[in-house]
């Protein structure tokens, strides 16, 4: 199997996982009389099975992030507020990774643009290439408008601590580590 085939397989797996999550999300929104907590668990299970490609071409499984606090930031190179908040997010990660915190940036952008941007402005946290499917992924996590930047913070038990549409502030980030 060639590297190109492996990348295609990983990307197809990511797209399939996103499609499955979209179906679960739609069921969650439209289901009446069901226990929302159970359906929320189904969405999170789909989340943990998703995989993305990294800018370096490696597979980035979401399951690797389970069990520890996680910041998920949806961004794009063309989104000025996204770019402006990245140094703040990176500083949070550098200061808190020893405490178990993880940060994942999911780029809703063309892979070549993400690679080019990160070559000039690297970050210390993990980046996944979510592409346009990342918008649907963010909607499942509560981004009803599909706007950017969008950030979700989960504790070690995958419970929501914070969700924010728009540029993060230092005060937003201070709330995470409390």
Per-residue model confidence (pLDDT) at position 121: 97
Per-residue model confidence (pLDDT) at position 29: 40
Structure token digits, residue 34: 């069901």
Per-residue model confidence (pLDDT) at position 159: 87
Distance CA 39, CA 45 (A): 10
Distance CA 21, CA 3 (A): 27
**What does each of the 178 residues of the chain score in pLDDT, given as a tens digit?**
444 445 554 444 454 444 444 444 443 343 333 333 333 777 788 889 999 999 999 999 999 999 999 999 999 999 999 999 999 999 999 999 999 999 999 999 999 999 999 999 999 999 999 998 899 989 988 899 999 999 999 999 888 889 999 999 999 999 887 6
Per-residue model confidence (pLDDT) at position 42: 76
Close Cβ partners of 92 (under 8 Å, ≥ 6 residues apart) = 71, 101, 103, 173, 176, 177
- CA dihedral 161→166→172→177, nearest 10 degrees, is 40
Distance CA 23, CA 140 (A): 10
Say yes or no: domain 52-176 is CATH 1.10.3720.10.
Answer: no
Per-residue model confidence (pLDDT) at position 73: 98
Per-residue model confidence (pLDDT) at position 45: 83
Degrees to nearest 5, angle at CA 63 with 144 and 146: 15
The ranges assigned to domains in the chain are 52-176
């Amino acid at each position: 199997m060639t590297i190109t085939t492996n990348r295609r397989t990983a990307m197809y797996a990511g797209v399939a996982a996103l499609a499955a999550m979209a179906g679960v999300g739609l069921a969650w929104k439209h289901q009446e009389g069901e226990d929302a907590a159970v359906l929320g668990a189904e969405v999170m299970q789909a989340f943990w099975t998703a995989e993305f490609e990294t800018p370096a071409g490696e597979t980035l499984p979401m399951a690797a992030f389970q069990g520890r606090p996680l910041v998920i930031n949806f961004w794009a190179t063309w989104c000025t507020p996204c770019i402006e908040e990245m140094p703040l997010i990176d500083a949070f990660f550098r200061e808190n990774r020893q405490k178990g915190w993880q940060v994942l940036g999911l780029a809703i952008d063309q892979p070549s643009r993400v690679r080019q941007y990160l070559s000039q402005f690297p970050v210390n946290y993990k980046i996944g290439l979510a592409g346009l499917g990342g918008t649907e992924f963010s909607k499942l996590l509560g981004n009803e408008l599909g706007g950017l930047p969008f950030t979700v913070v989960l504790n070690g038990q995958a419970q929501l601590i914070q969700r924010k549409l728009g540029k993060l502030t230092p005060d937003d980030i201070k709330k995470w580590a409390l």
